[in-house]
Amino acid sequence: MKHKVTYKKPFGFLKILHFRRYIARAGQSIKRALSRLSDRHKIDKLRREFSANVSHELKTPLTSIYGYAEMLEGGMVKEEDKPAFIHKIKDESARMIALVEDIMFLSSLDEGKNVKVFEKTDIAAIAAEACEKLRAKADEHKVRLSFNAGGGAMFKKGNRSMLLLLFVNLIDNAIKYNTSGGLVRVEAARRGRHIWASVSDTGIGIPKEAQKRVFERFYRVDKSRSKKTGGTGLGLAIVKHIALLHHAEISLQSHENIGTTVTMVF
């Protein structure tokens, strides 16, 4: 008599295994969905903050311009005061133009535009050019500006005009937030495969709690001082973006009333 051999699959065990895997996968998908949701929430929040900041920063100079023009039109300004009023209108307009240009540049970076040309660029030569551009401003502020490169060309793949803007922004800060008789040192050196560049100053420094925020858009430690110097708080946000595009590491060390050093490793 033949026996029909029936093989009993361990259904119970496999089912549990499948079920556990299914639960684990579902859990991961839920986690991913939640993280996407919170990312989107964060982006939405940043967008809202950005629009509120832009509106505020534009409204302030526009309100001044409107006020000065209204006073001139109403004949409320003495003849001898007119040049000063016209100068103020010009100053505020220049501030607005600079702000709009910075915003447009940042949004073009956000959208990945402007990044077409990446060529062999000499970091040391660009840093030297930025120093020359700002030499007159340094003299005006009675700040000594020195440049020191470890000799020879220091080539890396990069976008020339963006890198120039990066150094100009850093040196501009080092001059603006300095004190009369202070020093700004710009250095570049090759270390192995990398190029190190730094901008250091002997200026007012940045308080510890503000150091991680200075790279945020529109963040200014001392709004009144920054406004006096024509700052909009976008310079370091632009610097950070450009460094990121060049895969450069950027770090900041600062001590109040001693000075600030920003270092980049390309």
Footprint of ligand ATP on this chain (CB under 6 A)? 169, 173-174, 177, 201, 203-206, 214, 219-222, 226, 231-237, 260
List the single partner that 226 binds among Mg ion, ligand ATP, none, CB under 5 to 8 Å by kind.
Answer: ligand ATP
CA distances, 97 to each of 2, 58, 234 (Å): 96, 10, 13
Helix (H, G, I), strand (E, B) or coil at 261: strand
* Closest separation in Å from C-beta 234 to ligand ATP: 4
Q: Which stretch binds Mg ion (CB under 5 A): 23-31, 42-50, 185-193, 232-240?
A: 232-240
Burial of 242 (0-12, 13-18, 19+ CB in 10 A): buried
Closer residue to ligand ATP, CB minimum distance, 154 or 188: 188
Q: Which residue's Cβ has the minimum distance to ligand ATP?
A: 235
Cβ contacts of 103 within 8 Å, gap of 6 or more: 54, 234
141 binding partner (options ligand ATP, Mg ion, none; Cβ < 5 to 8 Å by kind): none
Q: List C-alpha distances in Å: 205 to 25, 172, 174, 261, 265.
A: 50, 14, 9, 9, 22
Selection from ligand ATP, Mg ion, none that 130 binds (CB < 5 to 8 A by kind) is: none
Please classify residue 98 by burial: count the beta carbons closer than 10 Å to its beta carbon, then call 0-12 exposed, 13-18 middle and 19+ buried. middle
Closest contact distance (angstroms) between CB of 211 and ligand ATP is 9
Among the listed residues 121, 173, 178, 200, the single contact to Mg ion using CB under 5 A? 173
242 binds, among ligand ATP, Mg ion, none (CB under 5 to 8 A by kind): none
Which one of the spans 91-99, 167-175, 215-223, 240-248 is the region binding Mg ion (CB under 5 A)? 167-175
Spatial CA neighbour of 95 closest among 137, 67, 61, 68: 61
Q: Could you say whether residue 235 binds Mg ion (CB under 5 A)?
A: yes
Give contact residues for Mg ion (rule: CB under 5 A).
173, 235
